[in-house]
Amino acid sequence: MRWFAVTVLASLVLVITVNGVATLDQARQDARLRAAAATLRPGLAMVFGGFVDERRLQKARLEVIERPRVIVFGSSRVREISGALVHAAPGQFYNLGMSAAVVEDYIGLWSLIEERGIRPDIAVFGVDAWVFNANHEQSLWHALAPEVSRFLGGSTGRSWTRWPPVQRLLSGWDQTKDLLSYTVLQTSLRDLERTVLRRKRRGDDLLKALAGDVVPDPPPDGRRAIRADGSVILRLSDTTPAQVRDAVLQHVRTGPYGLVDFQWNGEAAASLERLWLDMRARGVDLVVYTPPYHPAAWEALRREPRYRAALDSTAVFLARLSKQVGARFFDASDPAVIPCGEAEFYDMQHATAPCLERLWQRLSP
């Protein structure tokens, strides 16, 4: 019995040691990333050519930015909305859009905002139908899993936990549990292996980009870039509107992104309701809209009953929930209501800045 107890104790010590060392190393990496993220000031932009770990970048930026008056949540379909486009003064607007964002992403980012104490006056949500599709793969948000768990764990619904000492106690408890977690141990071992073998670690690519690829906004060579306000500068394509239209129709025929095998995700809907109720309880005004589709895509989607049902059920739910929580809702899925023409889309679902500017005028947040 004594040897069993010794073995269990030794195992616990080993797990705590490995997780502790990895946590300390990651904390140092995060501190370097925060320092680098602080160099991305108004008037500057970070150029990029390929994959960007958007969630890690947004986490680092939320650690260093001043409190904005307006924040935008959504997927890549909102990312060209900039402070300049909405005529906001530097520092008054921030775009939290991220590729393939879902409800968990919204929650994780809101949790970080609350932790920093940079709650905005207005939050604008561009909500895609795919966030309610239970059959749509949704995994990128796991980079924000600790923040999501902190919100959905039940504490945010109780007013007494908003007291800073209690929040620090709960945060400390979460960190203590992580030290004993086998799941965290697996991640820790991978992180330590990268460190020992001098392989790329989580955040290395961002550190490199922020150290050497920050240039005046806009970049003089027309490259893609991320502005200090979180918005994206895209490089215009040589593709003609007719070519875009052909690609759009092909996309719909082969299965439009996020709408294939649509099955309503009640858990995501309930989580979004909880998030918005929390935001409204804390005095944040909400403006909600559904992003526009390319005109040809919209027509094709409406002709297909299963896709039309997915879009309609999303709009009906968002309208009902917006009314319930006191948010303003605008269904902009049909580009004609903005209006936006075929020449104002990059592809099936990404509108150009001129279209988004007119959309923002309709929202009037």
Confidence of residue 161 (pLDDT cuts 50, 70, 90): very low
Do the strands 214-216 and 44-47 form a parallel or antiparallel pair, or are they unpaired? Answer: antiparallel
Confidence of residue 212 (pLDDT cuts 50, 70, 90): low
Tell me yes or no: is domain 38-153+203-363 CATH 3.40.50.1110.
yes
Domain assignments of the chain as residue spans, ordered by start: 38-153+203-363
Q: For the residues 266-290, what does the mean pLDDT come to?
A: 98
Which of 38-52, 186-200, 275-289 shows the lowest per-residue confidence on average (mean pLDDT)? 186-200
Residue 260 has pLDDT above 60, yes or no: yes
Angle at 229 between CA 225 and CA 233, to 5 degrees: 25
Confidence of residue 179 (pLDDT cuts 50, 70, 90): very low
Structure tokens at 101: 């964002």
Q: Identify the pLDDT of residue 169.
A: 47
Residue 205 has pLDDT above 90, yes or no: no
Q: For the residues 115-120, what does the mean pLDDT come to?
A: 96
Distance between CA atoms of residues 340 and 350, nearest Å: 12
Distance between CA atoms of residues 171 and 41, nearest Å: 30
Distance between CA atoms of residues 266 and 200, nearest Å: 38
Q: For the residues 79-104, what does the mean pLDDT come to?
A: 96
Q: Identify the pLDDT of residue 156.
A: 40
Which of 35-39, 92-96, 194-198, 232-236 shows the lowest per-residue confidence on average (mean pLDDT)? 194-198
Q: Which residue has the higher pLDDT, 41 or 164?
A: 41
Which of 10-14, 146-150, 190-194 shows the lowest per-residue confidence on average (mean pLDDT)? 190-194
Q: For the residues 348-355, what does the mean pLDDT come to?
A: 96
Per residue, the 3-state secondary structure of the chain, as one string, reads CHHHHHHHHHHHHHHHHHHHHHHHHHHHHHHHHHHHHCCCCCCEEEECCCCCCHHHHHHHHHCCCCCCCEEEEECHHHCCCCCCCCCCCCCCEEECCCCCCCHHHHHHHHHHHHHHCCCCCEEEEECCHHHHECCCCCCHHHHHHHHHHHHHCCHHHCHHHHCHHHHHHHHHHHHHHHHCCHHHHHHHHHHHHHHHCCCCCCCHHHHHHHHHCEEECCCCCCCCEEECCCCEECCCCCCCHHHHHHHHHHHHHHCCCCCCCCCECHHHHHHHHHHHHHHHHCCCEEEEEECCCCHHHHHHHHHCHHHHHHHHHHHHHHHHHHHHHCCEEEECCCHHHCCCCHHHECCCCCECHHHHHHHHHHHCC
Q: Which residue has the higher pLDDT, 190 or 84?
A: 84
CA distance to 126, 261, 364, per residue, from 288 (Å): 6, 25, 11
**Which of 134, 68, 144 has its CA nearest to residue 104?**
144
Amino acid letter, 65 = I
Report yes or no: 288 and 327 within 8 Å, Cβ to Cβ. Answer: yes
Q: Identify the pLDDT of residue 218.
A: 85
pLDDT tens per residue across span 22-59: 455 555 666 677 777 788 889 999 888 777 888 988 99
Q: Identify the pLDDT of residue 143.
A: 87
- pLDDT, averaged across the chain: 84
The region that residue 82 occupies, defined by phi over 0 for left and psi between -120 and 50 for alpha, beta otherwise, is beta
**Which of 242, 337, 334 has its CA nearest to residue 297?**
334
Q: For the residues 354-358, what does the mean pLDDT come to?
A: 97
The region that residue 90 occupies, defined by phi over 0 for left and psi between -120 and 50 for alpha, beta otherwise, is beta
Positive or negative, the CA dihedral 242, 244, 247, 253 is negative
Confidence of residue 103 (pLDDT cuts 50, 70, 90): very high
Which of 39-53, 300-314, 349-363 shows the lowest per-residue confidence on average (mean pLDDT)? 39-53
